[in-house]
Amino acid sequence: MKCTNKKKISGFAAAIAALAFLITGCGGSSYDMPYDPDINVTSFNVVARHDSGAAKPFAADLCVVSSDVAGSGGVNLEQAEAALLLGIDDNRVLYAKNAHERLHPASLTKVMTALVALKYGRLEQVLTATDSVKITESGAQLLGLKPGDTMTLDQALRIMLIYSANDVAMLVAEGVGGTVDHFVEMMNQEALQLGATNTAFANPHGLTQDGHYTTAYDLYLIFNEAIKYETFREIIQMSGYQTTYYDSSGKEKTVDKKTTNLFIRGDSHPPAGVTVIGGKTGTTSKAGHCLMLLSKDVSGASYISIILKSDDSLYDEMTELLGEI
C-alpha cells in the first residue's frame, strides 16, 4: 500500500479552490455582462462607448516644420540666416530656411513680453518705473523713462510694441511680474507651454545678453498665440501712438511715436494681392535685422512670415518672401 502526504493534498486542494474563486467568484456564481447597447454598463459599452473620443494632438492646429522648404516661386533669401512663411488657416508651410537654428531675436522678444503681460496683467493697472528702466546699451531704443514715472499697462504695451522702447519693456516686466527676474521666468515657462523648446529668454526686451535665444519656428509658436489677443492684434496694426503719462511729481509727459515697421508706415510695400496686417521689428548688432509679420491674401487667408538675422535688405527679402503667397 502506497502512503500519501496529506499536507500536499490539502495544499493542492486549496490552490484549486483559489482558482475556482478567481474564475467564478464567491459560491461559484457567474456574473455576466449583457451585450446590450441600450444599457449603460454592458459588454457592448465597454468595447464601444457612446462617449468615447481621442485626445487632440498638440500640433493639430499648428504648422510643423521638419526641414527646409524651398517654396514654389524661386525665393532666394541669401542674407537671412533663417526664415519662415506659414499659412495659419490651413497649417501650410510655404517656405522654411533654418527654422530650428538658435538665433538672437532682438526686439521680437517683446512679442513674448506682451503675451505674458496680456495673459497675467490688467490693462488698466498703473505701472511705476524703478531704477530697472535705466538701460545703458549703446544704440538701444528708449522712451526715456525715469524712476517714478507712471503709465498704465495698456499705454506701456502700445509704446513697447509700436516704438520698441526697451526701458518700457522693463517697466512692463517689473509691473506684471513683481520683479524682472520673475517675469523672465514667466516668459520661459510660457515658451515651454507653447512647445517653444529651443527658446531661452534672459530679459524682456531682447537687447544683447548671453543665454538669450530662440528660433524662427519658436517665434511662430509665440506670435501665433499672441495674435489670439484682440489688444495685441489692434496694437500691431497701428502706424503710431500718442499718449500722456506722468512723472514722479505728477507732471504730464507727452508721447508721439511712429511704428518701427516700415510696411505699416507705408515706406515699404508688400507684393500685389498681399496686405500686411502688422508685426514686430527687431535690430541689434548681434541679431542683425529681424522682422515678423501677420499678413492676408485677397481671399482673407492669414499668414505668418519671419526673417531673422538679415541685413539692410530685410524689407526687400520680406517682400520677396511674401511673394510666395
Altogether, the residues listed in the chain come to a count of: 325
Shared-domain flag, residues 31 and 101: no
Q: What is the mean pLDDT of the chain?
A: 88
In a domain, 149, yes or no: yes
pTM listed for this prediction: 0.82
Assign residue 238 the CATH number of its domain.
3.40.710.10
In a domain, 4, yes or no: no
pLDDT exceeds 70 at position 128 = yes
Distances, alpha carbon 215 to alpha carbons 70, 84, 106, 206, in Å: 18, 10, 12, 13
Shared-domain flag, residues 150 and 21: no
Task: Report the pLDDT value the prediction gives residue 42, as an integer from 0 to 100.
Answer: 52
State mean pLDDT over 159-181: 98
* pLDDT, tens digit (0-9, with 9 covering 90-100), for 52-65: 455 566 667 899 99
Task: Report the pLDDT value the prediction gives residue 74, as an integer from 0 to 100.
Answer: 78
How does DSSP assign 144-182, residue by residue? ---TT-EEEHHHHHHHHHHT--HHHHHHHHHHHHSSHHH
Query: What is the distance between the alpha carbons of residues 228 and 275, in angstroms, rounded to a whole number?
Result: 19
Shared-domain flag, residues 176 and 40: no
State mean pLDDT over 298-324: 97
Q: Which range (2-16, 90-104, 108-122, 169-183) has the least confidence?
A: 2-16
- Cβ pair 83, 96 in contact under 8 A: yes
- Cβ pair 159, 165 in contact under 8 A: yes
Longest dimension (CA), the chain: 117
Shared-domain flag, residues 119 and 22: no
Task: Report the pLDDT value the prediction gives residue 21, as an integer from 0 to 100.
Answer: 44
State mean pLDDT over 60-72: 89
Query: What is the distance between the alpha carbons of residues 136 and 177, in angstroms, rounded to a whole number?
Result: 22
State mean pLDDT over 139-144: 95
How many domains does the structure of the chain reveal? 2
What radius of gyration, in Å, describes the C-alpha atoms of the chain? 30
Query: What is the distance between the alpha carbons of residues 310 and 137, in angstroms, rounded to a whole number?
Result: 21
| Domain with 300 in it | 82-322
pLDDT exceeds 50 at position 199 = yes
Shared-domain flag, residues 316 and 268: yes
* pLDDT, tens digit (0-9, with 9 covering 90-100), for 15-33: 444 444 444 444 444 545 5
Q: Tell me which of 31 and 265 has the higher pLDDT.
A: 265
Proportion of the chain above pLDDT 70, given as a percent: 82
Identify the three-state secondary structure at position 4.
coil
pLDDT exceeds 80 at position 9 = no
Shared-domain flag, residues 233 and 297: yes
Query: What is the distance between the alpha carbons of residues 161 and 126, in angstroms, rounded to a whole number?
Result: 18
Shared-domain flag, residues 138 and 242: yes
In a domain, 206, yes or no: yes
- Cβ pair 291, 319 in contact under 8 A: no
State mean pLDDT over 314-324: 97
* Neighbour tally for 63: CB within 10 Å: 22
Which residues are marked as active site? 107, 110, 164
**Which helix H or strand E contains 209, and what residues bound it?**
none
Proportion of the chain above pLDDT 90, given as a percent: 78
Task: Report the pLDDT value the prediction gives residue 71, as an integer from 0 to 100.
Answer: 83
State which of 21-25, 74-78, 231-235 shows the largest mean pLDDT.
231-235
How does DSSP assign 210-274, residue by residue? TT-BB-HHHHHHHHHHHTTSHHHHHHHT-SEEEEEEE-TTS-EEEEEEE-S-HHHHTSS-PPTTE
